[in-house]
Structure 1
Amino acid sequence: MKSIRIAAMVVAGSTVVGCTTVKEEVKPDVVVAPPKPVEKSSKELFADSVKAFDAGKLDEAKEGFSKVAARAPNNAVVQYNLGVIAERQGKLTEAAGFYETAHKLDPKHKGTLLNLGRVYRLQDKFDAAIALYEGALKDPANEFDVELNNNLTVAYRLAKKYAQAEATARKVLARTKDNPDAYKNLSLIYFDQGNYRLAEFISANAKKLDDKDPGVYNNLGLIYLKLDERRAALGQFQKAVSLNKDFAPSLFNIGAMSLAYRDYEGAEKVLSRATELDPTSYEGFLAYAWALDGQKGRDAKKGLKAGENFERVLAIKNDQSDAVCGAGWAYSADKAGWDKAIAYLEKCKTLSTTSATDQQLIDSKVKGIVAMQKAGAAAAQPKPEEKEKPKAAPTNGPSLLDKVSDDAAKADPGAATEQPATGGTPPAEGAAPAPAPAPAPEKPKS
């Protein structure tokens, strides 16, 4: 445009005869940049993250809360919510880290106290849980807090400090005599000490106070199992599930009973749901893995899935010897898992719980797998004169794994007899932790 304007001025004011031709420049197309997206405020991110959590989109919720945490690293509620999400995903170490950060930022935040204590219990860190609760109860405002005292009762019981556990439960009942959770905890204190009839009597009191609480029926089921009244036990577990179809502890116990009777398919169905509902229970994944392992003779892919669930156990409790050895035998069911099978079996061989006989079985199994791997690799390589011929699919020969279920039976709570056993994977005490409220993010404050 500049050259055009200059040219026009010359023509108007000059005495030069004639015309000057001026070429107009071609203007480039104007590219309009898209508007930058408006960055959401922390409050909006928080609200969106809560919605994502409520919709079960845990990864999306975690991403949103993480952004808020980056902007406000001293916000205890955000750290707490990240802990809740990690716990829901079965990542206990990560959950503990977030809860511990939240606790440092706000030592009086009750949700953090309850949830951090529960995670410590799930990690078998009973002394840490006790110290956390005792510290909170030193605050005069919390001295008689029912939830904190009930959770302290659970921690004492799990640490086998039965006198302190009973005293704490009775402390709750002295001030709130109709507290069903305190009765449930007291019942389990007697249960753990083998006083099953007294435990049954106390559970009956809890049932009178709240006959819609599935935890009461779950605990009665545990008691009847110990009394060898299996039909009654199953009835109590089923009653609990009828009251709450998503009550994971009773689903787990029903699955464990099915597993003990070698109803592997039935156990798989129930335990699949139980582990989905409670991804923090290593016992649940262990039982689920055995249910799948029991079917690998008919379907080798079940063995691979069993191996994956044994690994889920180890992700929660890395010193669980049953899971190490179980993963080795499970992965050996299919050539896709042979490399992992060898690694886990070699590790199993070094464990103090592995007998000399089992070590010999492992040596034999590993040699067999290595031989089959070599045979498979050789079969996959065509000879020079056969290069133009169609390749034959390599075969593995007769399976060495048909009896793996028997090899693994020593870890199967019901494999020794046709009658179910209560050993092996311990039953779930679902209702015991009188507990912290179900994890859920706090709603954004208006």
Structure 2
Amino acid sequence: MINHTRFLRTSLGLVAAALLASGCTSSTAAGPNGPAANQNTGPKTPAKAEPVNISNRAKLLFEDAVKAMDTQKKAKAVDYPSLERKFKTALEADPNLAEADYNLGVLAERQGKKDEAKNWYRSALKKKPTLRQASENLAVMSTNEGDIPGAVALYTDVLKRFPDDAASRARLAEIYRQTGDLVKALEFARAALMRDPQSTTALKVMMRTYVDRKQPAIAKMVALRALKLDENDPELHHTVGLIIQGEGDPDGAMLAFKKALEVRPDYLPAHILLAQLSLDAEDYPGAEEHLRKILQAGGNNAAAHLNLGVAYKGQGQYDKAMQEYDEAEKLDPKMAAIFLNRAIILHRAKDAPERALELYKKYVAMAGDEVALSAEAPVFGLMREAEAVVQAKKEAKMAEDQAKQMEELQKKQEAEMKKNGGAQGANPAGAKSEPMEDPTTGDLAPNPASAPNAPAPQKAAPGQKNPAQSDPAEPTDEF
């Protein structure tokens, strides 16, 4: 649960009242007029301190700054520099106005200036040690930064000075819940509700604790009680959604998360869960919408870039998906899922099974370092599929090469046949040929093909081995 800091306010009708250095703030908010601004909810203090007089001009300037802040918040257009100038002007009018330091700290924190915010809170506490909200905000920041011992020390100090403070007890309860001490979490949450029955912070801690203890029915009862107190708290709707989701009703959970966004459109936890539910339901355009909101709030979110890539892939926008995977890898090179999703696109959309197979193997190696993969994990099926495609491509390539070789051989044979056919066609019938030598005389005999009206050679008589040769010059007996 992410805790948030709050502004201090005052009332124009009470600006002339003297500021008291005693515990003048409440569990909600107060201004420089201290307990007079909220007499019913101000906690008791262990001892009274000397009053500190603040100039009327400083009070008026502070009130003007608070009014400007409220107006801008309603218009949903907060001009942080102008608000800072107004609170600094009030502080210049009277340096003892600790509440101005406090609100400057809140403004700095809202802009992500953590160190500056801490300095303003410490300055406020130095001027007014009983300004409980400054201590609480420092503790909230320590909690959000993971400094649990520091946060516990700050809350404990607040409880020593303000034994009846419900807010600090509720936040301590949340710390114990997050660290796994569910017994202490319930103990401090109940103690907070005893001091402030309308503490939604304590009720939210109880809800989450019962969810952690696998007691959703009790958690839902606490949630209904909390919603009666404040229907405009997005965290309450979000927690109800978590309970419903745990009961196996994703549609009901989605409605609760959407209700949280109706109350507060920039509530990131609801966007995160709605994005995941949309991906599970293959509502890729819906997932894209929520993931864009998440990245607008903070671009250094590798998981959001990865999931946005999945949403693009689901819509067939493969190049955009690959770009998001690249962004995710820049932020977290050890995130194994990046390589799996990239491989799927290369395998099934880019016709690059060889490269995909390399990435599948890389994913298996990286994921295996975190948790042993089951033999039935989908990646192994994808690997077999890619290997089959690679093998098929190899066989197709071999067949293509063989076909080319056969084609080249056939062309070569045809060329040789044409060449041989041309040599045979060089001596057609009736063409001149070399004269033959007479075996008896040694003279060259004329080519019979060239002699006109040459008689056909006679067959030798049977048994005559050496028939007489006819003289072509001898006249024939034919008339």
Query: What does residue 138 of structure 1 align with?
Result: 126
Asked if 1:361 is matched to 2:347, the reply is: no
- 1:191 counterpart residue number: 177
Cα 1:263–1:111 change in 2 (3 A) is farther
2-structure distance, mates of 1:234, 1:310: 28
Change (3 A) 1:118 1:281: farther
- How far has the Cα of 1:294 moved from its partner? 2.0
Are residue 178 (structure 1) and residue 167 (structure 2) matched? no
Which amino acid letter does the alignment assign opposite residue 138 of structure 1?
K
Amino acid at match of 1:133: Y
Matched, 1:157 2:143: yes
Scaled by the length of structure 2, what TM-score is found? Answer: 0.51
The AA in structure 1 aligned to 2:151 is A
Distance 1:291 1:239, change over 3 A: farther
1:376 corresponds in structure 2 to none
1:117 aligns with 2:97: no
Which of the numbers 313, 337, 345 marks the counterpart of 2:294? 313
Residue 282 in 1 paired to residue 268 in 2?
yes
C-alpha change, 1:332 and 1:238, in structure 2 (3 Å) is farther
Change (3 A) 1:216 1:191: same
Residue of 215, 220, 224 corresponding to 2:206: 220
Asked if the contact 1:255–1:270 (Cα under 8 Å) also holds between the matched residues in 2, the reply is yes
Letter in 2 for 1:361: N
Equivalent residues in 2 for 1:204-215, closer than 5 Å: 204-215=190-201
Q: Matches of 2:131 and 2:331 in 1, distance apart?
A: 44
1:86-125, Cα deviation, whole Å (9 max, x unpaired): 8x57xxxx765555454444445848834853872795x6
Q: Contact conserved, 1:76 with 1:103, CA < 8 A, in 2?
A: yes
Looking at structure 2, the residues matched to 113 and 236 of structure 1 have their Cα atoms a distance apart, in angstroms, of 33
Partner of 1:303: 284
SS in 2 for 1:138: helix
Match of 2:312 in 1: 331
User: Is the Cα contact below 8 Å between 2:136 and 2:168 reproduced in 1?
Assistant: yes
Whole-Å separation in 2 of the counterparts to 1:101 and 1:168? 30
2:324 to 344, 362, 373: 344
* Superposed CA offset, 1:422-443 (max 9, x none): xxxxxxxxxxxxxxxxxxxxxx
User: Which of the numbers 287, 303, 307 marks the counterpart of 1:322?
Assistant: 303
C-alpha contact 1:345 1:362 (8 A) present in aligned 2: yes
Q: Write the letter of the residue equivalent to 1:345.
A: Y
Q: Deviations over 1:171-223 (max 9, x none)?
A: 43344432221221232233343332112111111111222332221111122
CA apart distance, 1:273:
1.6
C-alpha separation in 2, matches of 1:317 and 1:101 = 27
Structure 1 contact 83–96 (Cα < 8 Å) conserved? no
- Taking the aligned partners of 1:261 and 1:175, their CA distance within structure 2 comes to 42
Is the alpha carbon distance of 1:130 and 1:114 closer, same or farther for their aligned partners in structure 2, counting shifts above 3 Å? same
How many residue pairs get aligned? The number is 286
> How far does residue 82 in structure 1 lie from its aligned partner after superposition?
7.1
1:136 partner amino acid: A
Deviations along 1:361-386, one digit per CA (max 9) or x if unpaired, are: 32332665568xxxxxxxxxxxxxxx
Post-superposition shift, 1:349?
Answer: 4.4
Would the alpha carbon gap of residues 163 and 370 (structure 1) be closer, same or farther in structure 2, given more than 3 Å must change? closer
- Which deviates more from structure 2 when the two are superposed, residues 286-295 or residues 252-261? 252-261
Q: 1 or 2 for the larger relative contact order (CA 8 Å, sep ≥6)?
A: 1
- What is the one-letter code of the residue matched to 2:69? Y
- 1:395 alignment counterpart: none
Q: 1:103 to 1:143 in 2, by over 3 A?
A: same
Note if contact 1:121-1:155 (Cα within 8 Å) is conserved in structure 2: no
Give distance in 1, aligned partners of 2:85 and 2:177: 36
Give, as a single letter, the amino acid of the residue that structure 2 aligns with 1:273.
K
Closer, same or farther: CA 189–355 of 1 in aligned 2, 3 Å? closer
Q: Please tell me the root mean square deviation across aligned C-alpha atoms, in Å.
A: 3.7
Give the residue type in structure 1 aligned to 2:344: S
Segments of structure 2 that go 5 or more residues without pairing to the other structure are: 1-63, 92-96, 352-366, 368-372, 374-479
Number of the residue aligned with 2:223: 237
TM-score, normalised to structure 1, is 0.54
